[in-house]
Structure 1
C-alpha cells in the first residue's frame, strides 16, 4: 500500500513532505542505519508493504520517515518515525506525525515511543500506558519445557491461518489480519495445539542482526515459555531478539537463556486502548513498529 497518502507540502526551510514510494526504501534503510537501528532493507520492505508512509526530503535527500498501518476503521498503528540527526530540531518529526494522524482520521492510534520521541507524542495527545522491554543476545539451550495438559507443539498447518489471525486479534486487541497472514507466509511458525485446536503460536523470522521471535500468543505463561524455548533451542548459539511487555513474567527467564534486556520503549496511545480477550495473552509483540 505504499504511496496512498495524498499529502505533499514544502516548508519555508525547504523540507518537503510527500508519500513514501517504493523507490525511497533504499534511502529510508540508509537513514535507519545512520541512527543505529538494526533493520535490514528486507525488514523495511515488509512493513512498508503493509501500510502507508511519509518521507521528508531536503535537497533531494530523504531526511525523515514515518509509517502508519490502518488495521480497520477504528484502530491504527504508527512506527518507523526517524529524523536524520543533522536536521533534528526543525519540527520535521511533528510534521510527519501530524500527516499520519490526519490520514488516520478518527481512528485510535497506538505507537511505541523511544525516550527521545516521548515528548513529541505527548504534545500530540498520546498517553503512556505500559512498557516494552527489548531482550536479545546469543541464545542458549533452554531447559525442556512441557506445555500444559492436553497441549502439544506442532508445525503450522495449511488450515491454521484463520485461527491464528483470530488468536492474535484476541491477544493484541488489534484486527491486523493482513500483517499476520503476511508474516505466516514469510516466517517460521510453531503452533500450540490443545486437543486438536490451535490455542497459541510463536513466530520466528529473520530480522536485523539475526532472528526475532514474535508474536508469541499463548493461554498461559508456562505455554508461552514452551513456545519461546522451542525457538531458542533451535537458534542456540545465534543472535536472537524478542520484545515483551513489562509485567508478563518472562524477564528473569529470558535472561537465563541468554536474552538480556538491552532497551525499553513506552506503549502510548491516542484514543481508546485496544481491548484484549481474557483467555489469550500476547507474551511477545510482533515488532516495535507493528505492535
Structure 2
C-alpha cells in the first residue's frame, strides 16, 4: 500500500514535457498497453505537424501522452490522450488535458471522444457538437461511381488550390498538414473545375486497413467519386470516418460493403468550429480533423 501511494504521488507530480521523435517507441509501447494499434506512420506524422507531450513513468517508458496540433492561432486539434493502464483513474488524463488547454492560449480546441474518454473531456469544459461514425470493410464501388468530370490524380502544382480548399473548409490555415499529405498518403486525387480545385481526397495505409481521408467535396456525388477512385484496386479493408450528417454518403458506403464499426463524439472547447464544414465528408484522420 505504501509503494502504491508513493507511485501515485510521483507520477501525478512529475512534469509534462515536450516529446520528440526519439520517444516514438515509448509512444507505441504505451498505445499497445492501452490496446490501441501501434500506428507508427500516424505517430510520425503527429510529431511532424503537432506538439506531442508526455509524462515519464518512473518505472520506464511513458505514463501518458497527449498531442496538440495547431491550425493557426485560433484552432487546434487534441488527440492521442493515453494513460498507461497501471496509472489509470488517478487524474493523469485530466492533467494532460489541462496542460494542452493552457498551451492552446485561448484557441478553440476539438477532439473525437470514445465513451470511455468523454467524461474526462466534459469535466475540463468540452461539449459534444456532433458524431463521427467509422465504417470499415471491403469497398466494392461500381465503375460508374468514380466517373466525374475534372477528377484526376493530384499534382504538385495543385497544392496551392488544395490548401485554399482546405482552409475554406476547415476555417483555419493547415498548410503544413496539406504539404505533408502527399508524402504520407499512398494516393491523392483532386476535382478541378474552371481552373479551381473543388474537391480533394487521399488514402493512406494504417496498420489494419486503408484510411480514406480527407474527403473534401462540394457535394455527395463528388465525395462518392473521390472515394471510389481512391479505393479502386486497393487490396484489403478500408476505413472511412464519416460525419453523421452525411446520411446519403453513409447509405452509399453501406451498399458498397462498408459497415459501421464504432462511433465517437465530436467535442469542442472554447468556441464553435469554423469553416464550411458541410464540405468536409471525412477528416484526414480523427486525430487531426
Partner residue of 1:171 out of 169, 172, 176: 169
Segment drifting more, 67-76 vs 136-145: 136-145
Where 1:247 maps in the other structure, the secondary structure is coil
Deviation of 1:14 after TM superposition, in Å, equals 3.4
**TM-superposition CA deviations, 1:2-26 (whole Å, max 9, x none):** xxxxxxxx97233423221222111
Which residue of structure 2 lines up, in the alignment, with residue 5 of structure 1? Answer: none
Cα deviation for residue 49 of structure 1 reads 1.3
Any gaps of 5 or more consecutive residues in structure 1?
1-9
Partner of 1:145: 145
Aligned to 1:221: 220
Residue 119 of structure 1 aligns with which residue? 119
- Does the CA contact (< 8 Å) of 1:165 and 1:180 recur in 2? yes
Distance 1:147 1:231 in 2: 12
Task: Give the distance between the partners of 2:37 and 2:169, measured in 1 at CA.
Answer: 27
Partner of 1:7: none
Instruction: Measure the CA separation in 1 of the matches of 2:270 and 2:147.
Output: 37
The CA deviation string for residues 185-229 of structure 1, in whole angstroms up to 9 with x for no partner, is 332211112233221011011122131110000011111001111
Partner of 1:286: 284
Q: In terms of mean alpha carbon deviation, does 63-72 or 137-146 score higher?
A: 137-146
Cα contact 1:135–1:262 (8 A) shared by 2: yes
Q: Secondary structure at the match of 1:144?
A: helix
Q: Specify whether residues 78 and 200 from structure 1 end up closer, same or farther in structure 2 by C-alpha distance, changes over 3 A only.
A: same
Instruction: Measure, in 1, the Cα distance between the counterparts of 2:57 and 2:184.
Output: 35
* Kept after mapping to 2: 8 A contact 1:189/1:203: yes
Conserved 8 A contact 1:142-1:232: no
Q: Confirm whether residue 40 of structure 1 aligns to residue 39 of structure 2.
A: yes
Q: 1:90 & 1:178 partners in 2: Cα distance?
A: 36
The answer as to whether partners of 1:147 and 1:226 remain within 8 angstroms in 2 is yes
Aligned to 1:182: 180
Relative distance call for 1:72 and 1:11 in structure 2 (3 A) is farther
Contact 1:139–1:238 (Cα < 8 Å) also in 2: no
Provide the C-alpha distance between the structure 2 equivalents of 1:14 and 1:282, rounded to a whole number of angstroms: 40
Deviation at 1:134, TM superposition (A): 0.7
Higher helix share: 2
Residue of structure 2 equivalent to 1:134: 134
Residue 55 of structure 1 pairs with residue 51 of structure 2:
no
3-state DSSP of counterpart to 1:286: coil
- The runs of at least 4 consecutive aligned structure 1 residues that moved more than 3 Å come to none
- TM-score, L = length of structure 1: 0.89
Distance in 2 (CA, whole Å) between partners of 1:58 and 1:157 is 45
Unmatched 5+ stretches in structure 2? 1-6
Report how many residues are paired.
Answer: 278
Q: Root-mean-square deviation (CA), in Å?
A: 1.9
